[in-house]
């Protein structure tokens, strides 16, 4: 009898220990709130999704997701996740900044990661990118690839963040070819501008009619229409955020990579290892947060000479020899 | 000079591209409204058609199957509208709005379930789309010509045929039509089905001709603009066509004026240009159109006297 009790106790103790051990490496409950562009925009949101998927595969930890159908749902979604004890929560896109600031104050013990904007709270990690540096490089490529010397830019919503892409792009163009001309269009002034491929295509066609032969699409889902228009007209398109070269091989000059996938993945990884830190992270060329895409889909369009020039400029930006002006530093493209 | 010429031609081509879905929707809406059935659901029909066109084209690799599916989808909604408003004499505006909401939700839900792309359909290749026929640069696919043709056809059907005469009569005074021994519901159903046909074509144009795939809410209010065009055109085909072209032209100009320095004025702010179509709408409605006369029985369910 005593033996039985003894073994029972030891079994219980072992089970208890195991429970404690499990609590120490308790799997985190990460969550993502996407932006209005939608999870599969082949661009910005999809990048975050890829990062989350990679984390999911490696760790077998489920990642909760929410795709808002309009911007009023951000706050609800963030709060719902926080109430359920999801931690950390990634908020994708500058448009969530206001909602996130509010919810983060209500839940000081939950960790939030905001991509593309800054909220200064101890439990918020803000990840922003030096889009101007990546855009500078693709601007150089555009200027070198253009035969007409006219290059187009179609942005999504007309906000300083998109102007930053445009401004870096313009600097890159002028750096490679001071005589090249840039024609800029914005799709709209509301968040719907991220999701209007029809209008994007029309804007791009309008630019082609004016002689443009390379167009840079920095417009979320709208970009799909812009790049499609480039393919339909036999022009060159430049993708953004994720590597979009595979969309139209042969008509995609390159893509400006914004490694939001890394940002999402790193944030989850850090949380898992209990090393998550608040504060602002600025990822540029140096930190491999932005880059340009070269793969089998566009290698025929990039001559060795173009690659050499861009690589040289990239090194110069990393070393600080070339400083790419940031539109958002003074809300102007003139430094 | 040559540059100006190409710019003008390009702008006109863009006008036609943008106006095509408006024209088709307006002609469809005309049939419906002439028969006394108000159709606020043009937007929903077009959206549903756009989705089914892209989904079917992506699955079957055939643009024409896509067009067929678009028409079937739009007709299904048209029949639903008819069932609610003609058979059951429901409120036509409420039914139309319900269709719009249904289409908005259903397209995204089905799209997510079938393709898992956040409501979008897979991008379509050239073989799965309706491609330009004569001028690749202008984008003159078969539906653009169909839209141009739809205007005289609509005019002829409404103004010059027995069916048209009865249609107009049923929209003005259904009692008289009924007294003459002609079925009011059957006439109205035919009008609603014609409306579905045109809205289906407009939807197919959006997703498999103008664009290469469906994306959520891609109609972006064009169904309502078509309704406005009908009102501007005072329920007549050619003036309504003109109104559609005017909207298209404004849009095309707005797109091309962005970032262009005009002599003497300088660069026009983007916001002002984007507001132009709406400003013009207000301006036209307030001043130029004058009193608009809708078909008398529009919106009134017909109840047979016993």
What are the tens digits of pLDDT across the range A102-149? 999 999 999 999 999 999 999 999 999 999 999 999 999 999 999 999
Specify the range with the lowest mean pLDDT, choosing from B39-43, B55-59, B80-84, B216-220: B216-220
| Mean pLDDT along residues B282-301 | 76
Q: Between A40, A198, A233, which is nearest B120 by CB?
A: A40
For chain B, the first-to-last Cα distance in angstroms comes to 71
Copy the structure tokens of residue B110. Answer: 């089905």
Instruction: Enter the DSSP assignment of A194.
Output: G
pLDDT the model gives residue B172: 93
Say if residue A207 is in the same domain as residue A80.
Answer: no
Say if residue A318 is in the same domain as residue A246.
Answer: yes
Identify whether A15 is part of a domain. Answer: no
Q: Between A39, A183, A198, which is nearest B211 by CB?
A: A198
- Tell which wins on pLDDT, B102 or B220: B102
| Nearest Cα residue to B86 out of B237, B193, B216 | B193
Q: What pLDDT band is residue A4 in, cutting at 50, 70 and 90?
A: low
Percent above pLDDT 90 for chain A: 72
Which of A206, A212, A242 to probe by mutation at the B interface, max B CB count within 10 Å? A206
Identify whether A204 is part of a domain. Answer: yes
A317 CA to centre of own chain? 20
Upper half-sphere CA count for residue B128 (Cβ side, 13 Å): 20
User: Going by DSSP bridges, is the β-strand pair A89-92/A31-33 parallel, antiparallel, or unpaired?
Assistant: parallel
* Closest residue in A to B131 (Cα–Cα): A232
Q: What pLDDT band is residue A56 in, cutting at 50, 70 and 90?
A: very high
Say if residue A235 is in the same domain as residue A118.
Answer: no
Model confidence at A23: pLDDT above 50 = no
Cβ distance A202 to B18 less than 8 Å, yes or no, reads: yes
Say if residue A270 is in the same domain as residue A248.
Answer: no
Say if residue A43 is in the same domain as residue A96.
Answer: yes
Identify whether A8 is part of a domain. Answer: no
B117 close contact with A: CB closer than 8 A? yes
A197 close contact with B: CB closer than 8 A? yes
pLDDT the model gives residue B279: 78
CA distance A223 to A238: 9
Model confidence at B3: pLDDT above 60 = yes
Identify whether A270 is part of a domain. Answer: yes
User: Going by DSSP bridges, is the β-strand pair A252-258/A236-241 parallel, antiparallel, or unpaired?
Assistant: parallel
Identify whether A277 is part of a domain. Answer: yes
A70 close contact with B: CB closer than 8 A? no
B289, burial (CB in 10 Å: exposed 0-12, middle 13-18, buried 19+): middle
| Nearest Cα residue to B228 out of B4, B73, B33 | B33
Say if residue A298 is in the same domain as residue A162.
Answer: yes
| Mean pLDDT along residues B205-209 | 93
pLDDT the model gives residue B291: 66
pLDDT the model gives residue B127: 85
Copy the structure tokens of residue B187. Answer: 């006439």
pLDDT the model gives residue A19: 47
Say if residue A250 is in the same domain as residue A270.
Answer: no
Angle between helices A160-176 and A304-319 (to 10 degrees): 120
B108 CA to centre of own chain? 20
pLDDT the model gives residue A104: 95
Say if residue A184 is in the same domain as residue A265.
Answer: no
Residues in chain A: 335
Residue A233's CATH number: 3.40.50.2300
Copy the structure tokens of residue A71. Answer: 């911007």
A244 close contact with B: CB closer than 8 A? no
Q: Where are the alpha helices (DSSP H) in chain A?
A: 2-24, 44-59, 73-83, 97-106, 131-145, 160-176, 197-209, 222-233, 260-272, 304-319, 327-330
Q: Helix, strand, or coil here: A151?
A: strand
Task: Tell me the per-residue pLDDT of B52-81, one tens digit each, with 9 for 90 and over.
Answer: 999 999 999 999 999 999 999 999 999 999
pLDDT the model gives residue A181: 94
Show Cβ contacts of residue B175 under 8 Å, excluding neighbours closer than 6 positions: B302, B305
The question of ipTM being above 0.90 is answered as: no
**Minimum distance, in Å, between the CA of residue A175 and any CA atom of chain B:** 22
Identify whether A6 is part of a domain. Answer: no
Say if residue A244 is in the same domain as residue A196.
Answer: yes
| Mean pLDDT along residues B168-191 | 93
pLDDT the model gives residue A112: 95
| Mean pLDDT along residues B165-188 | 93
CA distance B224 to B40: 7
Model confidence at B29: pLDDT above 70 = yes
Between A and B, how many CB-CB pairs are < 8 A?
A: 86
Q: What pLDDT band is residue A10 in, cutting at 50, 70 and 90?
A: low
Q: Which residues of A touch B10 (CB under 8 A)?
A: 205-206, 209
Say if residue A41 is in the same domain as residue A175.
Answer: no
Task: Tell me the per-residue pLDDT of B82-123, one tens digit each, with 9 for 90 and over.
Answer: 999 999 999 999 999 999 999 999 998 898 888 877 678 888
Percent above pLDDT 70 for chain A: 92
CA distances (Å), origin A154, targets A137, A166, A186, B10:
17, 9, 6, 18
Task: Tell me the per-residue pLDDT of B221-270, one tens digit each, with 9 for 90 and over.
Answer: 889 989 989 988 889 999 999 999 988 988 888 777 776 676 766 777 76
Model confidence at A152: pLDDT above 90 = yes
Q: Between A39, A198, A209, which is nearest B210 by CB?
A: A198
> Is the Cβ–Cβ distance between B70 and B203 less than 8 Å?
yes
B206 close contact with A: CB closer than 8 A? yes
Identify whether A165 is part of a domain. Answer: yes
Sign of the CA dihedral running B143, B150, B22, B280:
positive
Domains identified in chain A, total number: 2
pLDDT the model gives residue A20: 45
Task: Tell me the per-residue pLDDT of A321-332, one tens digit each, with 9 for 90 and over.
Answer: 999 999 988 988
Copy the structure tokens of residue A82. Answer: 């926080």
Cβ distance B120 to A198 less than 8 Å, yes or no, reads: no
pLDDT the model gives residue A21: 43
Model confidence at A22: pLDDT above 60 = no
Model confidence at A93: pLDDT above 60 = yes
Task: Tell me the per-residue pLDDT of A190-236, one tens digit each, with 9 for 90 and over.
Answer: 877 888 888 899 999 989 988 999 999 999 888 999 999 999 999 99
Q: Helix, strand, or coil here: A89?
A: strand
Q: Which residues of B touch A233 (CB under 8 A)?
A: 136-137
Cis peptide before B297 (omega within 30 of 0): no
* Closest residue in A to B112 (Cα–Cα): A40
pLDDT the model gives residue A6: 56
CA distance B94 to B266: 47
pLDDT the model gives residue B254: 79
| Mean pLDDT along residues A288-315 | 95
Say if residue A239 is in the same domain as residue A323.
Answer: yes
Instruction: Enter the DSSP assignment of A258.
Output: E
Say if residue A105 is in the same domain as residue A161.
Answer: no
Q: Which domain holds residue A297?
A: 131-258+290-330
CA distance A40 to A46: 5
Instruction: Enter the DSSP assignment of A29.
Output: B
CA distances (Å), origin A54, targets A50, A60, B11, B250:
6, 10, 46, 47
| Nearest Cα residue to A88 out of A69, A67, A114, A70 | A114
Cβ distance A205 to B210 less than 8 Å, yes or no, reads: no
| Nearest Cα residue to A173 out of A119, A128, A205, A215 | A215
Identify whether A312 is part of a domain. Answer: yes
pLDDT the model gives residue B204: 96
Q: Which residues of B touch A245 (CB under 8 A)?
A: none
């Amino acid at each position: 009898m005593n033996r039985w009790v003894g073994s029972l106790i030891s079994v219980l103790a072992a089970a208890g220990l195991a429970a404690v051990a499990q609590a120490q490496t308790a799997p985190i409950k990460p969550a993502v709130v996407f932006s209005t562009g939608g999870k599969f925009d082949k661009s910005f949101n999809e990048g975050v999704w890829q990062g989350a998927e990679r984390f999911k595969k490696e760790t077998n930890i489920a990642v909760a997701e929410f795709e808002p159908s309009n911007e009023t749902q951000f706050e609800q979604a963030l709060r719902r996740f926080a109430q359920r004890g999801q931690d950390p929560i990634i908020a994708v896109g500058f448009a969530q900044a206001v909602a996130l600031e509010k919810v983060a104050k209500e839940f000081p013990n939950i960790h939030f990661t905001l991509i593309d904007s800054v909220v200064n709270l101890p439990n918020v990690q803000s990840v922003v990118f030096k889009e101007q540096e990546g855009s500078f490089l693709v601007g150089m490529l555009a200027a070198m690839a253009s035969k007409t010397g006219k290059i187009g830019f179609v942005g999504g919503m007309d906000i300083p963040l998109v102007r930053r892409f445009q401004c870096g792009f313009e600097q890159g163009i002028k750096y490679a070819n001071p005589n090249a001309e840039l024609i800029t269009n914005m799709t709209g002034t509301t968040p719907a501008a991220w999701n209007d491929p029809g209008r994007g295509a029309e804007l791009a066609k309008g630019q082609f009619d004016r002689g443009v032969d390379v167009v840079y699409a920095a417009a979320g889902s709208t970009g799909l229409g812009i790049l499609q228009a480039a393919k339909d007209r036999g022009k060159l398109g430049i993708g953004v955020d994720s590597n979009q070269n595979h969309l139209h091989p042969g008509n995609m000059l390159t893509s400006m990579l914004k490694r939001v996938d890394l940002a999402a993945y790193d944030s989850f990884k850090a949380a898992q290892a209990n090393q998550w830190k608040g504060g602002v992270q600025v990822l540029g060329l140096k930190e491999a947060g932005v880059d340009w895409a070269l793969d089998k889909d566009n290698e025929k369009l990039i001559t060795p000479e173009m690659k050499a020039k861009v690589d040289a400029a990239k090194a110069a930006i990393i070393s600080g020899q070339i400083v790419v002006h940031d539109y958002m530093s003074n809300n102007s493209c003139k430094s | 000079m040559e540059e100006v010429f190409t710019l003008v031609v390009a702008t006109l081509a863009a006008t036609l591209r943008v106006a095509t879905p408006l024209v088709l929707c307006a002609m469809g809406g005309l049939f419906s409204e002439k028969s006394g059935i108000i159709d606020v659901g043009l937007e929903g029909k077009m959206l549903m058609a756009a989705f089914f066109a892209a989904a079917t084209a992506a699955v079957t690799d055939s643009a024409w199957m896509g067009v067929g599916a678009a028409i079937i989808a739009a007709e299904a909604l048209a029949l639903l509208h008819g069932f609610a408003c003609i058979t059951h004499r429901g409120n036509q505006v409420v039914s139309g709005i319900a269709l719009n909401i249904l289409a908005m939700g259903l397209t995204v839900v089905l799209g997510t379930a079938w393709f898992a792309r956040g409501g979008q359909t897979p991008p379509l290749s050239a073989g799965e789309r309706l491609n330009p026929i004569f001028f690749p640069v202008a984008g003159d696919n078969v539906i653009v010509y169909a839209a141009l043709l739809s205007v005289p056809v609509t005019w002829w059907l409404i103004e010059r045929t027995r069916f048209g005469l009865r249609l107009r009569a049923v929209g003005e005074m259904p009692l008289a039509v009924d007294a003459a021994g002609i079925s009011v519901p059957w006439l109205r159903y035919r009008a609603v089905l014609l409306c579905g046909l045109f809205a289906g074509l407009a939807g197919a144009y959006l997703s498999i001709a103008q664009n290469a795939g469906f994306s959520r809410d891609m109609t972006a209010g064009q169904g309502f603009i078509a309704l406005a065009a009908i009102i501007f055109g005072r329920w007549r085909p050619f003036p309504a066509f003109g109104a559609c072209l005017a909207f298209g032209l404004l849009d095309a100009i707005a797109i091309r004026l962005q970032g262009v320095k005009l002599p003497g004025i300088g660069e026009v702010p983007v916001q002002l240009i984007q507001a132009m179509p709406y400003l013009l709408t207000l301006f036209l409605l307030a001043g130029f159109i004058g009193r608009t006369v809708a078909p008398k029985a529009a919106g009134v369910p017909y109840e047979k006297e016993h």
